[in-house]
Chains A and B, each alone.
Chain A
Amino acid sequence: MKIEKIVEGNKTEVLLDGRLDTNAATEFAKEMETILTPDLKELVIDMQNCGYMASSGLRIVVNAQKTMDANQGTLVLRNVPGDVMEVFDMTGLADLLTFE
């Protein structure tokens, strides 16, 4: 999986490209550790090119939302493909996260 990061002040956009399986999630989690700083206010995760997400990826999104809540910031999941949306739906997260 390719992970691209665009940082602008206290806003960060992450673009995921490829299969977010358990191995990719390990890599993504490491990347997120550096992204989720206490002064981050806006986080966007763009999933346009990520049509597959295992539970390990789901866990990272939940953790990111927890951090952004603690930061009193926002997390937006952008361009989420149908198959991935189904995973958010099935696990009860679709109503708890912000999609656009």
Chain B
Amino acid sequence: MADTLEKQLDIEADLGNLDLVLDTIEEVLSAAGAGMKIIKACQLSVEELFVNIANYGYADAKEKPCSINIQAKCDDTKGNARIELRDKGLKFDPFAKEDPDITLKIKDRGVGGMGIYMTKNLMDSREYKYDNENIVILEKSWNL
């Protein structure tokens, strides 16, 4: 049996919506049979991107539209999640930056850079493109 589940959020890129984003990911992915490990990996990845958009993507703009499309497919043996984030904020490729140096000692650690690095590590694939808006596509698969 093959199944596709999908949910689309058209929201403001505001931290007040973070719970909704994280809960919706859990709802769609768990319905497709993903375990908590996969669900958390997707939640963390989307959180890091969403928080960046909310905090920096729109500078002082009044409206901060962001759409998040969560799609999960599964059959009897495996599942796959595809999550697409779109925002109309400043053009920004989150994956272009060099990875942080993870061999640094505690005293030499700065404040940023880890979130997107985590996203890169947690997802099977991630893609950025620009088409009048920022588009990020994340994918993660699992075995059932």
A interface vs B, CB < 8 Å?
19, 21-23, 51-52, 54-56, 58-59, 62, 65-66, 69, 83, 87, 90-92, 96
Contacts and interface: CB of A to CB of B under 8 A. Distances in A.
Interface of B: 15, 18-19, 22, 36-37, 40, 43-44, 47-48, 51, 100, 102-107, 109, 111, 114-115, 117-118, 121-122
Contacts of A54: 44, 47-48, 51, 115
A83 B118 CA distance: 12
User: Which one of A54, A69, A87 has the highest number of Cβ atoms from chain B below 10 Å of its Cβ?
Assistant: A54
Which secondary structure dominates where chain A touches chain B? helix
A87 B118 CA distance: 8
A22 B47 contact: yes
Given A62-B106, A96-B105, A51 B40 contact: yes
A19 B44 CA distance: 11
Nearest to A25: B51
Closest 5 CB pairs of A and B: A92-B102, A55-B115, A55-B114, A22-B51, A90-B121
Contacts of B122: 90
Nearest to A62: B109
A82 to B, nearest CB: 8
